[in-house]
Chain A
Amino acid sequence: MMGEERAQRGEEAEEGAQIAPDATQSAEDQARGEEVAETAPILQEGAQIASDPAQMGEGQAHSGEEGAQIAPDAAQTGEAPTGPLFSNPPGGFFIWFLVVLELGTFGIGLAAFGFSARGDLEGYGAGSQQLNATYGLINTIFLLTSGWLMAESVRHHQLKNFALARRTVLGAAVGGLLFMGLKGWEYAEKFQADQFLGSSPFFTWYWLLTGFHVMHVLVGLVILWLLAARAERIAPDSYEAGGVYWHMCDIIWLLLYPVLYLIL
């Protein structure tokens, strides 16, 4: 019996020895847990600032500076692998990366147009005179109105007023459709007047630049339709990303319009 008791105690002692490191580990875990508990409210605060702008006023909805400052702490804890540069842009990193890429693409195209025009100011000027600047003005008003409605839609969506968000995004889509309608009318006129790709250097550039822009507007209209159809189910950041894409179509047109219609 004694031998059995000793053997049992010996097993318990061994077990205790095995448990001891675990106990040390659990103490470390506890200490880490306390650290995490201390940082959790800060992270939560940051997350609230970053993800729920609807609870703030209109002007503050996108300030997000505080949340951005907290983000590196989150990255250090391993919970958020991204820093403020990547997490901060309203709508997310990827939509802004796309905006920069598109601006670069259109910028290169317009710069090439400019250098080409510089070598033949008379020819390009004559081409530009063939365009109806009033069509360009009306289309600019359509896109600006559409962009304003889109900005209102994003604001209403962040305030969780989905009915108004849907109504305004549909208004933005109507603005886009009106733009497409007038652009189609203008294209038809140019086509009938044999002012198509290859008819002159100016019109080659005109069709390439505006055609590329029209393709973006078409994609934007599909995005607006999706935003309207699923307003309640789309996260605020994704909704804003859709808005950023639509505004990108605006800002590209804001550069195309004066270059093609006004200054030559």
Chain B
Amino acid sequence: MNNHVVYGLLLALTGLSYGIAEGLVPAGLTVSLVMGLACVKFLLVTSRFMHLRAAHRVWKIVVSGFAVVFSAIFALML
């Protein structure tokens, strides 16, 4: 997957997040879906643009773990 494909995916996911927040899905699912998509975009940027996939697994766990835990906390909290 080259940078252009990643960029296209990021734009599509951003548009989808906006659509979901504007009422594409029932209100109860909005927070979980939007935070889930934010987490996916975060992981795409870190792994592909920042080349985290080439780093030691400790870095992958710390950075990716942050995004997953952060999104999960918000999805559960609000």
Contacts and interface: CB of A to CB of B under 8 A. Distances in A.
A12 interface: no
Contacts of A58: 2
B54 A259 contact: no
Interface in B45-78: 45-46, 48-56, 58-59, 62-63, 66-67, 70, 73-74, 77-78
B14 A148 contact: no
Interface residues of A, number: 53
Interface of B: 2-4, 6-7, 10-11, 14-15, 17-18, 20-22, 30-31, 34-35, 37-38, 41-42, 45-46, 48-56, 58-59, 62-63, 66-67, 70, 73-74, 77-78
From DSSP, what is the main secondary structure of chain B's interface residues?
A: helix
Given A96-B55, A152-B3, 9 more contacts: A68-B56, A144-B11, A144-B14, A151-B49, A254-B41, A255-B70, A261-B21, A262-B18, A263-B31
A115 B22 CA distance: 24
A248 B35 CA distance: 18
A211 to B, nearest CB: 20
Nearest to A97: B59
A229 B48 CA distance: 25
A137 B18 CA distance: 7
Contacts of A259: 74
A148 B3 contact: yes
A150 B49 contact: yes
Interface string A219-257: 000000000000000000000100110011011001101
A121 B14 contact: no
12 contacts: A65-B54, A90-B52, A100-B63, A103-B63, A118-B78, A133-B18, A148-B4, A244-B50, A254-B38, A262-B30, A262-B34, A263-B78
A255 B50 contact: no
Contacts of B2: 58
